[in-house]
Each structure stands twice: as C-alpha cells, then as structure tokens.
A and B are shown apart, each in its own frame.
Chain A
C-alpha cells in the first residue's frame, strides 16, 4: 500500500462493463523524505468509492488485492483508494494532519 495525493479525476465513456458507475481518480504517489511528504515518481489511476477529493492524501492498495475491496468484486482494477488519511506520524514526529 502506498500514500498518494489525489490530483485529479479521469472520465471515460467507453469502458469495460465492470467500470460502469465507478469513479476514477488520478493519484500522485508520495514518499517520506527527511520527515516530509514529497511527491514521488508515479502518477497512477485508481478507483475510489470513499469520495476522495482533490488535494486529499489517501492510502492506495495495488495489485490483485485491490479487487478484495467489497465494491470492486466485479471490477478489473489494480488500484483502489482504501482510506482517507487523517494524520501521519513517523519517527515520533507529525508529518501530516488533515486540516
């Protein structure tokens, strides 16, 4: 699982039936560096049914486990938002707190 920041949404009319009615978001992977959350190398697309908004930090799960999310049983997805992050602590320091 990774920490990512929602940076946008993706809209597609022509799609696999399993994606019908499923929201797609653009998520920019973030990494911890010197006690700060900084943007990583990859921007990926993920399914979201928690209502993640632009600018929010989320937990993404990737790979076949993504399908284990209850709402994704019939969706051929490999990335799902599974949590909206309230706060992150690392090495005894507060890294992020949702405002």
Chain B
C-alpha cells in the first residue's frame, strides 16, 4: 500500500461493464516521509469520495477492488483507494 495525492479524475463512457459506477481518480504516489512525488501517476478506483488535493491510501489488490465495487462480474482493476489519510505524513 502507498500514500498518494489525488490530482484529478478520469471519465470514460465506454469501459469494462464491471467498472460501471466506479469513480476513477488520478493519484500521484508520494514519498510518505517527505511528501515529495515518487513515481508515475496512477489511476485508482474510489468509493469513499476522495477529492482533489487529499492524501489517500492506495492498495494494489485486485480482489479488494472487486469487493469494494461490489461488482457481479470480475473486475480488471487493480488499484483502489481504501482510506482517506487524517494525519500528515510521517505519523508526527
């Protein structure tokens, strides 16, 4: 799991049926100790209502995303936002 900053969203009309209703957000992984961007932006599914500028916990667990989206068919998504971070980075 990693911490990322929400940068924006992605809209797609034509998509895999299992993704209907899923919000797709662009998240920039950050180094949790410094807050600096770390690596390429990714696209993650969200049901918690994450907004631009928020720090979120992103999980790379396809089954978890499937459970989260409560989809009937198998879902090809892998990244999901599992929590909205309260504390600043570093736990201080």
Contact = CB atoms under 8 A, between A and B. Distances in A.
A76 B59 contact: yes
A85 interface: no
Contact of B82 (A8, A11, A19): A19
B72 interface: no
A14 B84 contact: yes
A38 B44 CA distance: 31
A14 B68 CA distance: 14
Given A26-B33, A45-B1, A46-B1, A77 B61 contact: yes
Do most interface residues of chain B lie in helix, strand or loop, or is the interface mixed?
mixed
Contacts of A43: 31-33
Interface string A7-41: 11111111110110000101010000000000000
Given A9-B91, A26-B32, A76-B82, A16 B48 contact: yes
A60 B5 CA distance: 24
A64 interface: yes
B78 to A, nearest CB: 10
A67 B36 CA distance: 29
A79 interface: yes
Given A18-B67, A45-B32, 14 more contacts: A8-B89, A11-B85, A14-B83, A16-B80, A24-B57, A26-B90, A44-B1, A44-B2, A45-B1, A76-B61, A76-B82, A77-B61, A78-B59, A78-B60
Interface of B: 1-3, 31-33, 38, 48-49, 57, 59-61, 63-65, 67-68, 80, 82-87, 89-92
6 contacts: A8-B33, A15-B57, A24-B57, A26-B33, A26-B90, A43-B31
